[in-house]
Structure 1
């Protein structure tokens, strides 16, 4: 495979692949299961707040 053929492939199908991957990864968070995981990850830092407040 020559450089020009590889470059043509990357310019056309590489862009399509990266765009599709981006849409899948962003859309994943809008699924019901993804929302729960996102909410859990966003509030994870507050999980042990009540324990530290009792001891502090």
Structure 2
């Protein structure tokens, strides 16, 4: 493969692949039922926060 062939592939199919991937990620994030799971996940760093502050 030469440079021109690889560049043409990246310009056309690479861009299409990245666009499809982006659309799939957006659909996954905004799917029904994901808010509850996201709310659970966002509290993970603070689970042990009460235990750490009581000892100090």
- TM-score bucket of the superposed structures, by smaller chain: 0.5 to 0.7
Once residues 41 and 13 of structure 2 are traced to their aligned partners in structure 1, the CA distance between those partners, rounded to angstroms, is 34
Structure 1 regions of 5+ residues with no counterpart?
Answer: none
Query: What TM-score comes out, normalization by structure 1 length?
Result: 0.68
Q: Give RMSD over aligned pairs.
A: 1.9
Alignment of 1:34-45 (within 5 A): 34-35=34-35, 36=37, 38-45=38-45
Structure 2 regions of 5+ residues with no counterpart?
Answer: none
Once residues 27 and 6 of structure 1 are traced to their aligned partners in structure 2, the CA distance between those partners, rounded to angstroms, is 30
The one-character-per-residue Cα deviations of 1:2-56 (angstroms, maximum 9, x if unpaired) are 2211111110110010111112122211122x431x2222111221233334434
* Count of residues in Structure 1 that have an aligned counterpart in Structure 2: 54
